Amino acid sequence: MDKLVTLKQRLNEIMDIQAAVAMLDWDQQTYMPAGGAEDRSDASATLSNLFHLKATAPEIGDLLEDLRPSVAGLDPDCDDARLIKACRRNYEKQVRVSSEWVMDFARSTTLAQTAWEQAKRSANFKLFQPHLEKIVGLRRAYANFFTPYQHIYDPLLDDFEPGMKTAEVQSIFNTVRPVQVALIKATAAQTQVDTSFLELGYDEKGQWDFGVEVITRFGYDWNHGRQDKSIHPFTQGFGIGDVRITTRVDQKRLATALFGSMHEAGHALYEMGFDRSLRRTPLAGGASMAIHESQSRMWENLVGRSLPFWKFFYPRLQKAFPAQLGGVDLTKFYRGINKISPTFIRVEADEATYNLHIMRRLELEIALMEGTLAVQDLPEVWNQKMQGYLGVVPPNDSLGVLQDIHWSGGMLGYFPTYALGNLVSAQLWEVINKDLPTLNAQMERGEFGELLAWLRQNVHRSGAKFEPQELVQRITGSRIDPQPYLRYLQTKYNEIYHL
C-alpha cells in the first residue's frame, strides 16, 4: 500500500494549503483593514489556485487508479476505503473546473466581501450589485462545468450537501411549508408576550462574558479555539486543533450575541470532535453543511432555547443584568425568547419562521441561476417575497437583501442546508433523548458532558467519512425526514401558546 501512503502525503499538503486559505479568510473577516482587500484578493487567488493545481494533479488521478484493486479488498466502511472514496469524489469534481475560474472566483469573492460590508453599512445595494452580478455569472459558469445536470442548481447544492438534488430539497420544503405557515397563523391569534425587556440595553462586556460562560459549559475548548468579533458570525477551523468562532454584540438586542455564540460553538464542537486519525485529510471535515447546521442549530435551539437550559442559566443572567431582568420571571423570559414573530433577519428568526426565510432564499437563488431574475431586480423581489411569506417588509436593504454574507462569498447553494440542518437536529434529538433519558435533568444542572459525548461518538468522530444521508440513516434509521422537526415545533409551541 505504498501508493496509499503517497496519496495521504499529497492530501496532507493539499489540506495544509486549504488551512492557509482559510486563515486568510478568517483574517479578512476579523482584523484586516478594508484597504487590504485588493492585496488580499491576489494572495487568496494565488493560494486557491495552488490548492486547485495540487488537488487536480494528474498524479492524484493516477494514484486513485492504481489503488482501485487494493480498495476492492478493503472493508468498504474502513477509514482508508472511505478516504479514497471521498478523494475520488473530490478529484472528479475538481478536475472539471478550470484554473482560470478558480482564480477569478477567489479574487472576485474577496473584493465582493469588502464591497458587501460597505453596502450593508450604508444600506446601499448599488455598491454590491456589480459584484453580485459577477458572482452569479461565475456560479452559472461553475454549474456548467457539470453538464449534464437535472437542474442548474444541483452542482451548487452538491458542494455543500453531497448527493442532494434540488428536486429533493423542494419536495421536503413542500412538506414543511404548510405546517409552519399554519402554526404561525394559529399563534398570531393568541395573546403575545411583551418582549421589550430583551431590547433594554445590555452592556457589551456583560453579554460577552455570559456567552463565554455558556459555551465553556457546552465544552468549547479555549486551548483549541478563540472568539473574536465580526460583522457576520462564523466558525473557521484550521485543523482539528484550532477551531475559531466569531460573534457580534448588539447592545440593544440581547439575543444577537447570546444565540449567535451558541450557534457558532455548535459548529466548533463538531470540528473539534473529528477523530485525530483523520487529521490533515479531507475526512477531517463536516459530512455536509446540513449536518454542520444540525449541530449549530441543536445547541442554539434544542438546548439554548429550552426551559431546562434556562432553569440553570436564567438566575445567572439575571445576576449579570439585574436592572433589565430582575423583574422578569423565568416563564416570561422563556416565552419571550421563543416568541413567534415574523421579522426581517434570518439569523434572529424564531424557530417557527426560520425555515420560511430559507425557502424564500432558495426560490431567489434558483431564479438567479435559471436567469429568470436579474440581480438589479433582487431587492424589489426580495421585499415582495418577504411580504408574501412573512407579511413584513424591511425598511431598507441592510435589513433586507444585504443582511447575509453568503452571496458575497459566492456561496449560492448553501442556504437550503440551514433548513435541512434544522430537520436533522430534531431527528437526532429524538434518538438522543431515548439514549439519554435524564438529559433534561442534566441540562437543569448546567451539565452537557453526556450530550457532547453522545454527539462525539455518533456524529463528530466520523467527520466526512459518511455522506450526509447515510450518516442520518445510520443514526436514526431513516433519511432526512421533516416529521420529527414538525412534531418538535408543534409540541413546543402548543405548550407555550396554549393552542
Cβ proximity to Zn ion: between 107 and 357 the closer is: 357
Catalytic residues: 264
Cβ proximity to Zn ion: between 64 and 290 the closer is: 290
- Show the 3-state SS of the chain: CHHHHHHHHHHHHHHHHHHHHHHHHHHHHHCCCHHHHHHHHHHHHHHHHHHHHHHCCHHHHHHHHHHHHHHHCCCCCCHHHHHHHHHHHHHHHHCCCCHHHHHHHHHHHHHHHHHHHHHHHHCCHHHHHHHHHHHHHHHHHHHHCCCCCCCCCHHHHHHHCCCCCHHHHHHHHHHHHHHHHHHHHHHHCCCCCCCHHHHCCCCHHHHHHHHHHHHHHHCCCHHHCCEEECCCCCEEECCCCCEEEEECCECCEHHHHHHHHHHHHHHHHHHHCCCHHHCCCCCCCCCCHHHHHHHHHHHHHHHCCCHHHHHHHHHHHHHHCHHHHCCCCHHHHHHHHCCCCCCCCHHHCCHHHHHHHHHHHHHHHHHHHHCCCCHHHHHHHHHHHHHHHHCCCCCCCCCCCCCCCHHHHCCCCCCHHHHHHHHHHHHHHHHHHHHCCCHHHHHHCCCCHHHHHHHHHHHHCCCCCCCHHHHHHHHHCCCCCCHHHHHHHHHHHHHHHCC
Cβ proximity to Zn ion: between 41 and 301 the closer is: 301
- Least separation, in Å, of the C-beta of 42 and Zn ion? 29
| Binding region for Zn ion (CB under 5 A) | 296
Amino acid at 87: C
Cα–Cα nearest to 386, from 425, 357, 408: 357
- Least separation, in Å, of the C-beta of 422 and Zn ion? 11
Cβ proximity to Zn ion: between 160 and 321 the closer is: 160
Cβ proximity of 257 and 211 under 8 Å: yes
Cβ proximity to Zn ion: between 41 and 296 the closer is: 296
Cβ proximity to Zn ion: between 44 and 296 the closer is: 296
Cβ proximity to Zn ion: between 108 and 296 the closer is: 296
Instruction: Select the residue whose beta carbon is closest to Zn ion and give its number.
Output: 296
Cβ proximity to Zn ion: between 254 and 358 the closer is: 358
- Least separation, in Å, of the C-beta of 365 and Zn ion? 17
- Least separation, in Å, of the C-beta of 147 and Zn ion? 31
- Least separation, in Å, of the C-beta of 267 and Zn ion? 6
For the chain, the C-alpha Rg in angstroms (whole number) is 22
- Beta-bridge mates of residue 253: 250
Cβ proximity of 281 and 13 under 8 Å: no
Burial of residue 275 (CB within 10 Å: 0-12, 13-18, 19+) is middle
Cβ proximity to Zn ion: between 230 and 296 the closer is: 296
Enumerate residues 6+ apart whose C-beta is below 8 A from 391: 342
- Least separation, in Å, of the C-beta of 157 and Zn ion? 17
Distance CA(400)–CA(383), nearest Å, equals 7
- Least separation, in Å, of the C-beta of 109 and Zn ion? 19
Cβ proximity of 219 and 235 under 8 Å: no
Cβ proximity to Zn ion: between 28 and 261 the closer is: 261
- Least separation, in Å, of the C-beta of 295 and Zn ion? 9
- Least separation, in Å, of the C-beta of 452 and Zn ion? 18
Beta strands 243-247 and 235-237, pairing class: antiparallel
- Least separation, in Å, of the C-beta of 264 and Zn ion? 7
